[in-house]
Amino acid sequence: YIRITDIDENSNKYSQQNIVSPLGILEDKYLVKENDILFARTGASTGKTYIYDKNDGILYFAGFLIKANIKNTSNSMFIFMQTKTTKYRRWIELESMRTGQPGINSKQYESYNFSVPSLVEQNKIANFFSLIDKRISLQQEKVSLLREKKQGLMQQLFSRKLRFKDENGEAYPEWEVSSFKEIVTINQGLQIAIDDRYTTPDINRMFYITNEFLRIDSQKKYYIENPSPSVICTKDDILMTRTGNTGKVVTDVEGAFHNNFFKIKYDTNTHNKYFLYYILTSVPIQRKIIQLAGTSTIPDLNHSDFYSIAIAYPCLAEQQKIADLLSTLDSKIEKEDEKLKSLREQKKAFVQQMFV
């Protein structure tokens, strides 16, 4: 069963992370077949598309999608690629504006004009983009495998199944167990109304770290004037979101931080910043944080609940080795992820050039 949310934002392929199956027997008209393209017809995802891949198996499409079967006189991949152009996105925006809310029906989709050269040329262009897609898929798989390796390594390290030895080949001391209250101090940031923020830097202004900053695609930057020292963080500090998207951890940033964050201070004589960063992002600790934050509409982690979380940690020397190993792997993931982004940008550029 394929829904709008099952279409990956980057690749536009069917995501099998949260598979659901329809109840009962559905009519064949809801079955997605070869040469079918699905179009999202409502909501913020209006215009989003998916082209059927036989490797995705038997799929039935959900009610917020429209199915179009491409005739044999055209190449379905060639048609699909035109839904990735600026021209198509602009058309989606204009059509949605006419109705007053995001949404395009089947009659409107039928009215869209595709550029259609000879079938021979369509096939050549489609094959070209299929090769690019294959390269992107291989690179995506490489990044995914590295991330899985990192998660597996973190599980081994923090469960103490994998241990380091010192320079003499001797085992390090056993790990200690403490609550966060015993090893760190935390404080919340400052809430500044949007009207009181600045969008340009200036003397006495400091970068304002908000949840918006955590979004990879965010272009917004805010600045505030003369914040108090208690809400200023340096690159030595660790920040963690305490409400909303609770549990997001960042470090190596400096500025004044929003009320949605905790600043986590620690003793550098006994704790390594990156070790704490990685243990905070580990699956068991993240699960505990989410659990304590609650399941309300806006999860909120209070001071006492955070302080109650217990962690195991080794001596400072072993912390350093663990942090160095994971940091090296992170650098490799970042490098391969940049290659992936570059390939996607190349594809976008080719699409715009090909369908001018």
| CATH number of the domain encompassing residue 332 | 1.10.287.1120
Query: Is 90 exceeded by the pLDDT of residue 142?
Result: yes
Query: Is 70 exceeded by the pLDDT of residue 24?
Result: no
Tens of pLDDT, residues 158-179: 999 999 999 999 999 999 999 9
Residue 95 and residue 126 in one domain = no
- Band (19; pLDDT cuts 50, 70, 90): confident
What domain range includes position 158? 118-168+315-356
Please say which residue of 297, 313, 329 terminates a domain: 313
Residue 191 and residue 296 in one domain = yes
Residue 320 and residue 284 in one domain = no
| Poorest-pLDDT segment among 7-11, 123-127, 195-199, 321-325 | 7-11
- The mean pLDDT value for 281-291 works out to 95
Which domain CATH number covers 180?
A: 3.90.220.20
Per-residue model confidence (pLDDT) at position 287: 94
Per-residue model confidence (pLDDT) at position 76: 95
Query: Is 90 exceeded by the pLDDT of residue 245?
Result: no
Answer yes or no: are the C-beta atoms of 132 and 347 closer than 8 Å: yes
- Band (213; pLDDT cuts 50, 70, 90): confident
- Band (96; pLDDT cuts 50, 70, 90): confident
Greatest alpha-carbon pair distance for the chain in Å reads 75
pLDDT cut 70: percent of the chain above it: 97
Residue 180 and residue 302 in one domain = yes
| Poorest-pLDDT segment among 14-28, 55-69, 215-229, 260-274 | 14-28
Per-residue model confidence (pLDDT) at position 212: 82
Residue 189 and residue 293 in one domain = yes
Residue 15 and residue 87 in one domain = yes
Residue 94 and residue 143 in one domain = no
| Poorest-pLDDT segment among 85-89, 214-218, 276-280, 312-316 | 214-218
Residue 68 and residue 10 in one domain = yes
- The mean pLDDT value for 213-230 works out to 85
- The mean pLDDT value for 253-271 works out to 94
What is the total count of domains within the chain?
3
Residue 129 and residue 56 in one domain = no
Residue 104 and residue 130 in one domain = no
